[in-house]
Amino acid sequence: MNEIAETLSALEPQSEAAEAQRRKHFAILESYLDRAEGFAPLRQAEVAEELQILLEKYQRDGLAFAGWVIMPNHLHLLTDPFSCANADHFFKRWNHFKQKTAIALNQKLTRQGRFWQKNGYDRWIRGPSEYQRWVEYFRMNPVKAGLVPEGREYPFQRIPKEIPQ
């Protein structure tokens, strides 16, 4: 992973080589996450249900969620389109959500400490076809991880019905 990060830092961000490195990074990360080893608090149904309620209710500073899939040790999330001055502005909003949910979910687990990892895999979606690919990825992620035989059977997800234009 460190090798990929070093390689990426030396590449032009919009280049095909950088995109190939990002895909490689994502594939390695995805394979680890699908095994759900280590800290996997969302494996407990009551914790995943609590997070789902928080996702459904949350709308603050213009941040709302269009879709998600809650996996045993991570969360895939689509935000609704909203206006944001820049990426820093978005991440400030996102970190507020992480803080709020960490407190609630740690209480549910009767524990303290970090709940969410510091960094994640963020992706700006740039059009309807890319959005549709991510929606399909969300739908199939629980199947690929061996949690259910069919995506629609997984209880901890919201799949957007409409694709924004």
112 is written with which tokens? 């303290």
**In this predicted model, what pLDDT tens digit does every residue of 48-80 receive, in sequence order?**
999 999 999 887 777 788 899 999 999 999 987
Residue 44 scores a pLDDT above 80: yes
Q: And the tokens for 90? A: 């978005």
Q: Which residues have CB under 8 Å from 46's CB, separation 6+?
A: 108
Taking a C-beta distance cutoff of 8 angstroms, is the pair 42, 48 a contact? yes
| Per-residue pLDDT reduced to its tens digit, 113-160 | 999 987 777 777 888 899 999 999 999 999 999 999 998 899 999 998
pTM surpassing 0.75?
Answer: yes
Whole-number Å distance between alpha carbons of 14 and 97: 29
Nearest to 161 by CA among 31, 66, 78: 66
The tokens describing 110, both together, are 């009767």
Please provide the CATH number assigned to the domain covering 39-158.
Answer: 3.30.70.1290
State the pLDDT at residue 85.
Answer: 75
pLDDT at residue 157 in the model: 95
- Read off the tokens for 57: 């209710």
pLDDT at 1 over 60: no
> C-alpha distances in angstroms, 134 versus 82, 128, 160, 163?
18, 10, 10, 11
